[in-house]
Structure 1
Amino acid sequence: MTRARKAPARPAPDGWTLVWNDEFDGDQIDRSKWDFDIGNGFFDYHSHTWVPGWGNEELQYYTDAAANAYVKDSALHICAIKESLHGCGYTSARLKTRSRDGAPLFNQTYGRFEIRAQVPWGKGLWPALWMLPQNDTHGRWAASGEIDIMEIHGEDPTRTLGSIHFGSTYPKRSLVTHTHKLPSTTTVADWHVYAVEWEPGEIRWYFDGVHWATQGFWWSCSQTRDGQGLAPRRASDINPWPAPFDHPFYLLMNVAVGGNFPGVPNAQTQFPATLVVDYVRVYQRSAGYGESKPRAPGRMPYSKQKA
């Protein structure tokens, strides 16, 4: 992908105040803002088992090596490379605003989260810009929520997805995914601005400043048995609205390879596959946030699950 001129600075959107950002104007990743996930999975201390592939059967080994994540030409580059490491056939990087020991680098409850990026595509690629809770306030994933600002189904460069994960601890969780068809003159490989506005009781997705989806219904249940989430059986099992989207979340950016969502790469998938990020900007509502009432669920779109 070719690098375009850096986006010019512009005033904050009406009603919003900039509170945190990274313009990637230096010559290296700012480690006071970003840390890395490392490896091909995690240890689940509740079940005392190793979870390979990050729970999604992903094929990459995440590193903090300069080949997989670096700053160049005032942009962050996250590169998935076809190479063997520790039993995996690919390497990549996953950056986050939360340190590996759990300490916060940056997190926020509510706000506008905006990222300008060029996104790689191809069979088996799974780039994502997303958010996770700083703490498991309401229980382990997905009882405490997840917000996906942008992800793509690797072989389709003409659509972006915006999702939320919620409900009870896995496997009794729920997923709502909205799909946005891009204008016919562009693909995700071009420069675009992806954003969500998250307020009490409502999450809105934006593409190049155009509001394209709204979600105003979800739920959270903290009930478990033997570490497994339980479906709520009575109203008192549901955490007070607007849980789980009522506590601080941190940011993540990555390029996964393979997994149960995009499938495996094929001969046409091009590597290195590079996600290029011009900036990350986070805003707060200038006038603050009011209270919100939950909406009726109505008909909710459902998509492939990300476990």
Structure 2
Amino acid sequence: MGEGASPRASPSDAAALPRTSSVTTFRAPFLAPSSRPSSSLWTPPAYVAHGSAVSLPSLPMKARPVMPSSRLEGKLTADDKPWVGRKDGWARASYWLTVLGVLVGLGCAGVICWRGYAGVHILKDAQLCLVLDEEFDTLDTTNTWNYDVELGGFGNGEFQMTTDSSTNIYTQNGELYIMPTLSTDAGIDIFNGGTYTLTDCTSQNSSACSTSADSSSYQVINPVQSARINTQGKYSIAYGKVEVRAKLPTGDWLWPAVWMLPENATYGAWPLSGEIDIMEARGNALAYGAQGVNYARSSLNYGPLAAVQKKIYGWQSNKRAGFNEGFHVYAMEWDETFMRFYLDNRLHTMLDLSISSKESFWNRGHFPATAMNNSATPVVVTDPWSSSGPSAPFDQEFYLIIDLAAGGTSGWFPDNVGNKPWYDSSATAMYNFAQAQDTWAATWPSSADDRAFRVDYVKMWKKC
């Protein structure tokens, strides 16, 4: 082979040449990721002709004409297809039944939507007359509000004393602040301070005005100071609407509430005359296992005897944010035929009740025929509202209460949940709560804007 000459491969040598083009290109999509070409675009295999690679252009596929059948001698006539001319009755019936079913379904859906819309309980503006419009530019305790000043626990074994001090209740920037503080911050020795008498106590019960501290007997002065106000004797409604715009407090074992009690207790002492809770909540964090500050609840409480009670309740909740992060409207609408509680708007219903002879509060209670009622022998449970309508006991004048409690032994904070430092049934419950002050007080913000129960406005309407 001369120098500079181009070598020619024999046919046998050509047959032995590797087809590198087909190996590297065609197999690329099936190789392991580490051995694929760097490009993510796949190209079709090249065609090798006489040792050189020629890329074939991609051409559009041409549609082939439909080939005539070789089994038929000619085009079929109508006589050859008798099924075309004969109508299938079952097929027609199936078609029209389907159409009818669709129409009936649409009609039923329309009726359900209409009944749902028409059945929403609502009081129209024309049915309401404004009774109270409180913007809290000042706190008028002469014509609008009363202080509740006592330390007896208000029937719930609450651990705070309520005061009329400007430290615990005041107005600022057109808002009401109910601010919980520590009794120790006021210089009170809650464990060994001896007898403590609450100034300006409003209770007729002397035990709710004075207490004593003695650590040797596990007696303690209420470790928290807060406040509570009401409109008793000044503003009340029997049927109407209530709106309260408020921001809930932050802090373990705080218990804000907006609620109502009967003006005259027509049917007897609690619970015979009922209690309306427009909003109750807890200041505990979202992770608290018994509904923390991201839950707000409404409820009705009533019963024919002190030991025979019924609670009807419902709530609204947020998944990722508490009601302590901003203001919300807590509302109730109420007449002879319904009671509806909601948050911010009527779509966020917490509790919605229809009232009728079949759905009276006596029938809803499912009360037993007899009960012990804190007595040695059973007593007959009778209907104390039998002479009234189905909305009894919620057919009388109720006044409004706004308060911020701390702890308690009523069960609002369940035992063994959220590292609760006391047991409701314990005689030393308040003492145990006070002993854990360093723990729970650390969850109370230093800022009054976050710790306080803040109320922007209160509005009450009566049904005209």
Instruction: Tell me if TM exceeds 0.5.
Output: yes
1:242-257 aligned within 5 A: 242-257=391-406
**Aligned pair partner of 2:261 in 105, 114, 132:** 132
Q: Deviations over 1:28-86 (max 9, x none)?
A: 44431001111112xxxxxxxxxxx2221211001111111111111111111112454
Instruction: Provide the residue aligned with 1:159 in structure 2.
Output: 295
Deviation of 1:197 (Å): 0.5
User: Following the alignment from structure 1 to structure 2, what is the Cα–Cα distance between the partners of residues 278 and 65?
Assistant: 20
* 1:210 match: 346
Over 3 Å counting, the alpha-carbon distance change for 1:274 and 1:238 in structure 2 is same
Q: Could you list the per-position Cα deviations for residues 263-304 of structure 1 after superposition, in whole angstroms to 9, with x for gaps in the alignment?
A: 55725430563111111001133xx4xxxxxxxxxxxxxxxx
Q: Which amino acid aligns with 1:60?
A: Q
Query: Radius of gyration: which is bigger?
Result: 2
Q: Give the match for residue 38 of structure 1.
A: 149
CA distance in 2, matches of 1:224, 1:244: 20
CA contact 2:372–2:379 (8 Å) conserved in 1: no
Query: Comparing 189-198 with 270-279, which one deviates more in the overlay?
Result: 270-279
Secondary structure in 1 matching 2:251: coil
Structure 1 residues 175-212: Cα deviation after superposition (integer angstroms, max 9, x where no partner): 11212113645533311111000111421012112341
Give the secondary-structure state (helix, strand or coil) at the position aligned to 1:206.
strand
Q: Which stretches in structure 2 are left out of the alignment for 5+ residues? A: 1-122, 189-195, 197-220, 285-291, 414-419, 421-432
Query: Counterparts of 1:235 and 1:244 in 2: how far apart (Å)?
Result: 11
Aligned residue among 443, 447, 456 for 1:269: 443
Assess if the C-alpha contact under 8 Å between 1:113 and 1:280 holds in 2: yes
Give the share of equivalent positions with the same residue, in percent.
31
Q: Which has the higher contact order (CA 8 A, sep 6+)?
A: 1
Note if contact 1:160-1:182 (Cα within 8 Å) is conserved in structure 2. Answer: no
User: Higher helix share goes to which structure?
Assistant: 2
- The 5 A counterparts of 1:168-187 are 168-182=304-318, 184=320, 187=323
State the superposition RMSD in angstroms.
2.9
If each structure's strand is expressed as a fraction of its own residues, which one has the higher value?
1
* Cα deviation code 1:193-236 (max 9, x no counterpart): 11000111421012112341202352399x999998x9864668
Residue 299 of structure 1 corresponds to which residue in structure 2?
Answer: none
Pairing partner for 1:112 from 235, 241, 251: 241
Query: Quick check: 2:330–2:342 contact (8 Å CA) kept in 1?
Result: yes
* Distance of 2:397 and 2:374 partners within structure 1: 24
What CA distance in whole angstroms lies between the structure 1 residues aligned with 2:270 and 2:337? 20
Mapping 1:223-234, distance limit 5 Å: 233=381
Distance, in Å, in 2 between the alignment partners of 1:236 and 1:190 is 42
Aligned 8 A contact 2:144 2:234 in 1? yes
Query: Structure 2 counterpart of 1:22, which letter?
Result: E
Shift of 1:128: 0.2
Partner of 1:141: 270
What 5-or-longer segments of structure 1 have no aligned partner? 1-11, 42-52, 99-103, 289-307
Decide whether aligned partners of structure 1 residues 73 and 149 sit closer, same or farther in structure 2, where only a CA change above 3 A counts.
same
TM-score normalized by the length of structure 2: 0.50
C-alpha deviation, 1:173, in angstroms: 1.5
Out of 156, 161, 170, the residue aligned to residue 61 of structure 1 is 161
Runs of 4+ in 1 over 4 A off after TM superposition: 183-186, 223-228, 230-237
The match for 1:22 is 134
1:188 counterpart letter in structure 2: N
**Which one-letter code corresponds to 1:175 in the other structure?**
K
Residue 74 of structure 1 pairs with residue 185 of structure 2: no
Q: Determine helix, strand or coil for the equivalent of 2:452.
A: strand
Superposed CA deviations along residues 233-268 of structure 1, whole A, max 9, x for unmatched, are: 466874522110010000000000011313557254
Counterparts of 2:160 and 2:237, CA distance in 1: 29
> Residues of 1 paired with 2:130 and 2:461: CA distance?
4
Do 1:139 and 1:169's aligned partners in 2 also have CA atoms closer than 8 Å?
A: no
